[in-house]
A and B are shown apart, each in its own frame.
Chain A
């Protein structure tokens, strides 16, 4: 099963490489990885999506917790949560397909954020499934380039991952 693990990490040099290194060292896989500082300057928040059965996920969270730089973590998939990813896509927009792209963008509630005579750059947010669907819809028209941020997430309700 796919899991989204959210980590509060010391904002220190080398901390990120320890997290990433752990995954390759122990043969765990990383599907997406997203990291940025938080409102508290000493902490980064890192979100990993990974695939594995319960045993593997248990080992991943235990080993992550063992890293000295990991302050706290939560497996968001264990409870209700919000998952978002942002994607920028360049698509061919020539002739008749220009309108087609525009229509699809509207259907997906995406936005065209840059325009040239032959190319639209589209911004879209949502869960990973929605982004995948958008890519599928655009594929016949012609995708030129894709940049995805990787998943970020937060739990619903009053639950808080903080110090």
Chain B
């Protein structure tokens, strides 16, 4: 039996839980914990420069590794700074544990210095939260926090820790709880067999089927089984923005991703399908467009671990509550020895789809000429080639995010890292930092915009301290491009506050932090700059590229329309 203070229990627990790196920022209420971390060397602490970055870095790590990220912040402003990152993780179902210092128990409720009711503030954006009431409960509460964060539909869990709970003078018995049980929490382990049979029968009878799969495939590590199922059936597949990479995008059956800025063929295929097999996706408004016009001829099979995602916005004909991996595997075994009822229909369906593919070919943007400014799409394609499609790619939010999603092709899951649900500008750079620190041998690229980058650029200092070699590709259009695009389309080009006057000289800025920055103004300068950028994988390089500010992201679904209603360029509409 071991007697430890609350603070030492936290440090010990993190070790025993196998947490290698935590992201945080100290302050009064967390100092006992920081002292405990100082007196050990197994768990590494990364000191960020803003607590929001700690959450994004932990989140990036979680998305890339599939394991929960860990954050440590102090009370009050430390905790409130973390709120945006907690919401970001919540919206994308990312496992994360956020340890928040809190003022001492006897001060709670007295508006004490740096007191914020962080459990209250974060209530709608966490999977669950705990407040520690006695030091002796720390091991069990932390175990529950990690268990809840990582299982079922994952999500962030906040643990509020009043300062007296970690006092060095009070010691209690510490035992690492190998397992915990929560009586009201029993995530399903398999889907309903009868429903799965029904779904399989529908698949075999379908004439125009399409798979529509989401982040749930990535989170549950079901990519391999999904790929086997899709290959076995020969159906087309489209993923959500969050599901990119869960099926190899360079494979012929992939229609790439769907929705507002999704591919023409994916949106067309959805609209005309007679069967949609949705797995780990949630029919959100950026996918469905107008739900009353959504896929008029399709029956819908919907598999999800979270029953509340099923029939939330679009009614499912065959709902299946269960983990993607096990349901898919059950489908595969039920398919054994069985054949499509209308064998002639599938090739016809494919030729319709190939027709759509041909229709959009070369329509979406016009390449630049050697002496001209680059198109952002071209830059993404060039980065794709030089990294051979193998990089971890994070993004911020805006046009550059959509271009990155459209023109970088992912053949593996967990490589495409973007804030899909909340759309948080400022996410990309700290997320890239978190990934690079945990996967130092891999190439980590952050596509950003000059607007987004300025929201979290202080993390250059963190990268300096920890020698973090991320590659930052700034698609600099000198404007809040996505906002400007909406203003062009909906407000007669009245650009209310969507341009950024007085941008910093990024060269000097990056130089001030001791890193290399390169500038590309013309098409013909790109290749050499990319060579230089990716020459040394350990070096942070900031590549500032002037791109055409007039470019819009296409396709773009027409608001209130059906899936098939899209703008294909400034002049062409379906």
Contacts and interface: CB of A to CB of B under 8 A. Distances in A.
A87 to B, nearest CB: 32
Given A13-B131, A21-B123, A21-B124, A71 B312 contact: no
Interface stretch (A60-68, A88-96, A142-150): A60-68
A66 B123 contact: no
Contacts of B120: 17
B185 A68 contact: yes
A63 B307 CA distance: 8
A66 B308 contact: yes
Given A13-B131, A14-B119, A25-B124, A66 B306 contact: yes
17 contacts: A14-B123, A17-B120, A17-B123, A18-B123, A21-B123, A21-B124, A55-B315, A58-B311, A59-B308, A59-B312, A62-B307, A62-B308, A66-B308, A68-B127, A68-B182, A69-B184, A71-B183
Contacts of B124: 21, 25
A105 B478 CA distance: 76
Nearest to A72: B184
Interface in A58-109: 58-59, 62-63, 65-66, 68-72
A7 to B, nearest CB: 11
B184 A68 contact: yes
Interface string A133-163: 0000000000000000000000000000001
B128 interface: yes
A36 to B, nearest CB: 19
Interface of A: 10, 13-14, 17-18, 21, 25, 55, 58-59, 62-63, 65-66, 68-72, 163
B132 to A, nearest CB: 12
Q: Which of A10, A62, A72, A163 has the most CB of B within 10 A?
A: A62
Contacts of A63: 308
A10 B308 contact: no
Contacts of A13: 131
Given A14-B131, A18-B123, A25-B124, A68 B308 contact: no
B162 to A, nearest CB: 13
B148 interface: yes
Interface string B169-190: 0000000000000111100000
Contacts of B414: none
Contacts of B419: none
Contacts of B311: 55, 58
A163 B183 CA distance: 9
A14 B129 contact: yes
A18 to B, nearest CB: 6
A49 B166 CA distance: 42
Contacts of B129: 14
B116 to A, nearest CB: 15
A62 B185 CA distance: 13
A5 B452 CA distance: 45
A70 B184 contact: yes
B143 to A, nearest CB: 14
Contacts of A71: 183-184
Closest 5 CB pairs of A and B: A62-B308, A71-B184, A68-B128, A25-B124, A62-B307
Interface string B402-423: 0000000000000000000000
B420 to A, nearest CB: 20
A66 B119 CA distance: 18
Nearest to A10: B184
Contacts of A70: 184
A56 to B, nearest CB: 11
A25 B124 CA distance: 7
A156 B306 CA distance: 31
Given A65-B307, A68-B184, 11 more contacts: A10-B184, A14-B123, A18-B123, A21-B124, A59-B308, A65-B308, A66-B306, A66-B308, A68-B127, A68-B128, A163-B183
Nearest to B315: A55
A69 B185 CA distance: 9
Contacts of B308: 59, 62-63, 65-66
Nearest to B308: A62
A72 B185 CA distance: 10
Contacts of A55: 311, 315
B72 to A, nearest CB: 21
B206 to A, nearest CB: 26
A55 B316 CA distance: 12
Nearest to A60: B308
A139 B306 CA distance: 48
B150 to A, nearest CB: 14
Contacts of A17: 120, 123
A71 B184 CA distance: 4
A163 B119 CA distance: 27
Interface in B130-175: 131, 148
Interface string B213-230: 000000000000000000
A16 to B, nearest CB: 11
